[in-house]
Structure 1
Amino acid sequence: MSIPSKPRKPKTCINEECRASFVPQRLGQKVCSPACGLATKDVNAEKARKSLFQIGRAEIKVRKDALKTRGEWVRDAQKAFNEFIRVRDQLAGHACISSGRPLDWAGNAVDAGHYRSVGAAPHLRFDERNCHAQSKQDNRYLSGNAIDYRIGLIKRIGLAEVEALESDQTVRKYTIEDLKTITAEYRAKTRELRRKTA
């Protein structure tokens, strides 16, 4: 024995041009016909698009920045810092800090290699003395080639500076504001270097 279904109440079509009264055939039906459904979908998409343009790019950037985690801010700052290091060393004509071989600047074969790694010494991740252009081979596959890196580093910045880096155990806590400042500073430095050589 089947249970009789309740008669459905008439609704008004949500299409602003139609507004006809209809009895829904399905649960959640809001339009009287497929044509009204398509017209409503187009109108809603256009409203959404217009509202995005009204917000403006600056507002969207502010909203995106508000959703970023501290880790994402660290990655942004590290990316800007590493780019500066690569540009600085390329313009100076430096070879790989550890192997002494010429670097392939045309491809994607150059890293900004840290003498004291970011994992072992995160407080030195943004220290320009601690980071130099290095081949990906040495940085990634030879674990930074630390012994040869130290030899190259002594030639480049001097023994006193290398020993100062090795003994530096100062704790540095980077706030999100610090990381924003670092990112902006290194992007500006990179632009300045490129502008001078253009």
Structure 2
Amino acid sequence: MSLLAKQPRPKKCAVQTCRASFVPRASFQTWCSPDCGVAIARAKAEKKRKALAQVERREIKVRKEKLKSRGDHMREAQQAFNAYIRARDQAAGHLCISSGKPLDWSGNAVDAGHYRSVGSAPHLRFDERNCHAQSKQDNRFLSGNAVDYRIGLIERIGLEAVQALEADQSVRKYTIDDLKAIKAEYRAKTRELKRAAA
């Protein structure tokens, strides 16, 4: 009985732009010519480079997160909260809480204005009843337009809720973990509002 050498079967080149049929010289060969072999090697090297870059970016992000101060976390949580307030009031079609005028949502002309300011009542900075969409004019240049804000707030949430806000003197201390949770919660709420509006 004689042993016949098994002839390799033709394969298609693994390079997407080539795909030529060829007979491999070795079982692991997946390319038809040296040029295609170089192309495969380059593609593998590029894939490896991208994977390493992605790992490096993740590590940098983790290191940056560790360097953040409590103030940085507070600022990010406040930004997420304010973005939610603007999205909530835009979705509801609310007018400016203090002037009662239509808000210009096309640009950067709308603030999330607090009834009791963050400076005087920091414990209410993340209270949704205390913050509403307000024109930059009223919020920044008219110091919040507090008298008209109160009138608009009573119309929106009722006198009892406004009096409860005014009487609230509780002390709240936010930890870094609290601030991270607040940021995550309000980012998720904002995404949900935008998804519902689309």
TM bracket (short chain): 0.7 to 0.9
1:95 has 2:104 as partner: no
Matches within 5 A, 1:43-192: 53=53, 55-192=55-192
The residue matched to 2:123 in structure 1 has which SS?
Answer: helix
Q: How many residues align?
A: 150
Moved runs in structure 1, 4+ residues, more than 2 A?
49-52, 54-59
What is the alpha-carbon distance in structure 2 between the residues aligned to residue 145 and residue 111 of structure 1?
13
Matches within 5 A, 1:26-45: none
Q: Deviations over 1:89-148 (max 9, x none)?
A: 001000000000000000110000000000000000000000000000000000000000
How big is the alpha-carbon RMSD for the aligned residues of Structure 1 and Structure 2?
A: 1.6
* TM-score in terms of structure 1 length: 0.73
The residue matched to 2:132 in structure 1 has which SS?
Answer: strand
Sequence identity, in percent? 77
* TM-score in terms of structure 2 length: 0.73
- Unpaired segments ≥5 residues, structure 1: 1-48
What is the alpha-carbon distance in structure 2 between the residues aligned to residue 178 and residue 52 of structure 1?
33
What is the alpha-carbon distance in structure 2 between the residues aligned to residue 77 and residue 58 of structure 1?
21
What is the alpha-carbon distance in structure 1 between the residues aligned to residue 85 and residue 158 of structure 2?
18
Residue matched to 2:45: none
Q: What is the CA-CA distance between 1:57 and the residue it aligns to? A: 2.8
1:142 to 1:54, Cα distance in 2 relative to 1, 3 A: closer
1:50 to 1:85, Cα distance in 2 relative to 1, 3 A: closer
The one-letter code sitting in structure 2 at the alignment partner of 1:70 is: R
What is the alpha-carbon distance in structure 2 between the residues aligned to residue 174 and residue 78 of structure 1?
12
